[in-house]
């Protein structure tokens, strides 16, 4: 097998950036160049004061140590492709917005462009690694494109190496992954390419955690893992609705269920609904695949995970309206948290966006505070979520506040949409004093001590609890 000396990563986003920064850190003998067409993103990765384009705990330390040593960020895609022995394709694969499969299938335009670029400029053989989450058999399309467009005599071995990191914990996930999955063709050449990539990870990942499988199993495993994780959340959220209707407590139910060692305690936190760029996209992708394979029952089964998630978000905003005496028109609602989960500035598919859209359609005034999400991003997301309303109109109904206390001033209700730890430590008495009465808290993340808040005077509704407010 080839010993990898130079790696190119195409796509400097949430996956390509942290993943290949960690590879550079752990493999000082490999030169890693992360490239992107987006110049401002690359400039941010290269910024002298390390104001990186994504917020991820621990990431700055990794980049500080490796950048300029054996880690480089560049917009010169062609040069990095030419020099590399191994290329990660880590570009975005969003859900298609139009055309065949719109709303379900993955848009493979970026993967194809990156692949065509590799074919056009490569002057030596390469190992090409799918890092992006892709529909099954994408590796085959990549090979066809590479073989049809490259210079004669070059070999391209395609591997699938899906990424399992979660945002907010990306660096610790990458430092000690549960597993690294590598899929390859089971031919001598495919297995050799696989060995080359194993040697890269073996610099820090114990060998028994590096799983090798066939290409198609690897591609499907990534979709399967995300679908099954999301399914757990939809299951617990479905049960949270039963708890609210009956007086059971979803925390107690989740604890009791999760103590079964066959099930385990993780990923059983009821919430306002899952967000993030992956779960919904990858399930819809699986639904599309199942339909294409003429398996409608399988498609319907997975689709229900997304339907339940939509229901959970809708149900929560309805609870807010119902509790506030069936109208929030002209009322001030404070939304704490805009990111799709804590410890990230990422807002893709954040449940907060859906809740705020619902509140605005009831003609409420909404004040938002998030510790990481930038103002421009909030306006961008709201404009996209409410396309029929001009942004000037949205801005009349929405305020962005610099902290939680300011955000809550003169409001009727505080809604917790993201589980940021700092929301637990807020001076809730001070918040109460500035709010209109009765003052309500809607805890969509089960992070607050409801009894302590009630002592202060708040009326509190927590997801998954049927108790009196
Ligand atoms: P992202 O949008 O943050 O980053 C993708 C980057 O690729 C962008 O900066 C874009 O400019 C660049 N790009 C697109 N086409 C290009 C081209 N032809 N040449 C050079 N650069 C190009 O996306 P992401 O969140 O990093 O996700 C990337 C992939 O990884 C997706 O397939 C996603 O499903 C998968 N994934 C994401 C996560 C996650 O937590 N975000 C986790 C696991 C897997
Ligand atoms: C997910 C997968 O976890 C990761 O393995 C994959 O590589 C990418 O997709 P990510 O979307 O970054 O990662 O975060 P994750 O921690 O999975 O949370 C996703 C959403 O589910 C968030 O909105 C989170 O708040 C929500 N969630 C998670 C719950 O509502 N309850 C839970 O118990 C866990």
Q: What is the pLDDT of residues 424-442, one digit of tens each?
A: 999 999 999 999 999 999 9
For the record, the structure tokens of 142 come out as 């990549």
Output the domain CATH number for residue 424: 3.40.50.720
pLDDT digit string, tens, across residues 340-382 = 999 999 999 999 999 999 999 999 999 999 999 999 999 999 9
- Single out the residue in 205, 225, 257 at which a domain terminates: 205
Residue 306 has pLDDT above 90, yes or no: yes
Instruction: Report the pLDDT value the prediction gives residue 469, as an integer from 0 to 100.
Output: 79
92 alpha-carbon distance from chain centroid: 12
In a domain, 278, yes or no: no
Mean pLDDT of the chain: 97
Kindly state whether residues 310 and 200 are assigned to the same domain. no
Which residue has the least CA distance to atom 20 on ligand 1?
36
Kindly state whether residues 182 and 54 are assigned to the same domain. yes
Domain span holding position 318: 306-462
The band of 35, judged by pLDDT with boundaries at 50, 70 and 90, is very high
Which residue has the least CA distance to atom 27 on ligand 1?
92
Distance 111 CA to ligand 1 centre (A): 9
What's the mean pLDDT in 321-333? 98
Domain count, the chain: 2
pLDDT digit string, tens, across residues 257-294 = 999 999 999 999 999 999 999 999 999 999 999 999 99
In a domain, 240, yes or no: no
Quick one: which atom of ligand 2 is closest to the CA of 15? 7
In a domain, 366, yes or no: yes
| 45 within ligand 1 shell (Cβ under 6 A) | no
Kindly state whether residues 64 and 187 are assigned to the same domain. yes
Instruction: Report the pLDDT value the prediction gives residue 468, as an integer from 0 to 100.
Output: 78
Longest dimension (CA), the chain: 76
Which residue has the least CA distance to atom 9 on ligand 1?
13
Instruction: Report the pLDDT value the prediction gives residue 30, as an integer from 0 to 100.
Output: 98
- Per the CB < 8 A criterion, the answer to whether 12 and 45 are in contact is yes
In a domain, 83, yes or no: yes
pLDDT digit string, tens, across residues 193-215 = 999 999 999 999 999 999 999 99
Quick one: which atom of ligand 1 is closest to the CA of 131? 30
In a domain, 174, yes or no: yes
Give the other-Cβ count within 10 Å of 307's Cβ: 11
What's the mean pLDDT in 96-107? 94
Mutate to test the pocket of ligand 1, among 174, 277, 339, 349 (most ligand atoms within 8 A of CB): 277
Q: Does 8 participate in catalysis according to the annotation?
A: no
| 277 within ligand 1 shell (Cβ under 6 A) | yes
**Phi/psi at 359 (5° precision):** -65, -40
| Helical (H) or strand (E) element with 440 | strand 440-443
Quick one: which atom of ligand 2 is closest to the CA of 230? 21
In a domain, 226, yes or no: no
State how beta strands 86-89 and 71-74 pair: unpaired
The band of 446, judged by pLDDT with boundaries at 50, 70 and 90, is very high
| Helical (H) or strand (E) element with 64 | helix 59-66
Which residue has the least CA distance to atom 34 on ligand 2?
267
Quick one: which atom of ligand 1 is closest to the CA of 277? 41
Distance 143 CA to ligand 2 centre (A): 32
State how beta strands 126-130 and 156-160 pair: parallel
- Single out the residue in 182, 205, 228 at which a domain terminates: 205
What's the mean pLDDT in 152-156? 95
Instruction: Report the pLDDT value the prediction gives residue 131, as an integer from 0 to 100.
Output: 98
In a domain, 252, yes or no: no
pLDDT digit string, tens, across residues 61-91 = 999 999 999 999 999 999 999 999 999 999 9
* ipTM tops the 0.95 cut: yes
In a domain, 225, yes or no: no
- Single out the residue in 188, 205, 222 at which a domain terminates: 205
pLDDT digit string, tens, across residues 7-28 = 999 999 999 999 999 999 999 9
Alpha carbons 406 and 206: distance in angstroms, whole number? 49
Torsion region of 367: left, alpha or beta (phi above 0 gives left; psi -120 to 50 gives alpha): beta
**Beta-bridge mates of residue 156:** 126
What's the mean pLDDT in 83-101? 96
The band of 467, judged by pLDDT with boundaries at 50, 70 and 90, is confident
| 77 within ligand 1 shell (Cβ under 6 A) | yes
pLDDT digit string, tens, across residues 372-418 = 999 999 999 999 999 999 999 999 999 999 999 999 999 999 999 99
| 417 within ligand 2 shell (Cβ under 6 A) | no
């Amino acid at each position: 097998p080839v010993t990898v000396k130079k790696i190119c990563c195409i796509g400097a986003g949430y996956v390509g950036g942290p993943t290949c920064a960690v590879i550079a850190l752990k493999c000082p003998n490999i030169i890693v160049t992360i490239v992107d067409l987006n110049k401002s993103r690359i400039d941010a990765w290269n910024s002298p004061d390390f104001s990186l384009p994504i917020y991820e705990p621990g990431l700055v330390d990794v980049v500080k140590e490796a950048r300029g040593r054996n880690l480089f960020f560049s917009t010169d895609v062609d040069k990095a492709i030419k020099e590399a022995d191994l290329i990660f394709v880590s570009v975005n694969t969003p859900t298609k917005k139009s055309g065949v499969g719109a709303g379900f299938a993955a848009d493979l335009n970026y993967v194809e462009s990156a692949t065509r670029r590799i074919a056009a400029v490569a002057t030596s053989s390469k190992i090409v690694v799918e890092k992006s989450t892709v529909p099954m058999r994408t590796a085959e399309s990549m090979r066809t494109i590479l073989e049809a467009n490259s210079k004669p005599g070059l070999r391209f071995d395609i591997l699938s190496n899906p990424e399992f990191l979660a945002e907010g914990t990306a660096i610790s996930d990458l430092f000690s992954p549960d597993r690294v999955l590598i899929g390859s063709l089971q031919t001598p050449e495919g297995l050799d390419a696989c060995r080359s990539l194993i040697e890269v990870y073996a610099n820090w990942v114990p060998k028994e955690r590096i799983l090798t499988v066939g290409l198609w199993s690897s591609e499907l495993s990534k979709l399967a893992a995300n679908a099954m994780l999301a399914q757990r959340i939809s299951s617990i959220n479905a049960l949270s609705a039963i708890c609210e209707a009956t007086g059971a407590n979803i925390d107690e139910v989740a604890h009791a269920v999760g103590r079964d060692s066959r099930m385990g305690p993780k990923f059983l936190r009821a919430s306002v609904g899952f967000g993030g760029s992956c779960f919904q996209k990858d399930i819809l992708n699986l639904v599309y695949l199942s339909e294409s394979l003429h398996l409608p029952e399988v498609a319907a089964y997975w689709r229900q995970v997304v339907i339940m998630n939509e229901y959970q978000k809708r149900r929560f905003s309805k609870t807010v309206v119902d509790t506030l005496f069936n109208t929030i028109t002209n009322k001030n609602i404070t939304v704490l948290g805009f990111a799709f989960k804590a410890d990230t500035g990422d807002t893709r598919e954040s449940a907060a966006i859906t809740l705020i859209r619902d509140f605005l359609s009831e003609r409420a005034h909404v004040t938002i505070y998030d510790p990481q999400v930038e103002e421009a991003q909030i306006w961008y997301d709201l404009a996209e979520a409410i396309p029929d309303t001009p942004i000037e109109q949205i801005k009349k109904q929405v305020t962005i506040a610099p902290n939680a206390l300011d955000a809550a001033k003169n409001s009727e209700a505080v809604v917790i949409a993201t589980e940021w730890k700092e929301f637990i430590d807020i001076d809730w008495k001070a918040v109460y004093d500035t709010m209109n009465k009765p003052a309500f808290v809607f805890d969509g993340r089960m992070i607050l001590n409801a009894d302590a808040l009630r002592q202060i005077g708040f009326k509190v509704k927590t997801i998954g609890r049927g108790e009196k407010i």
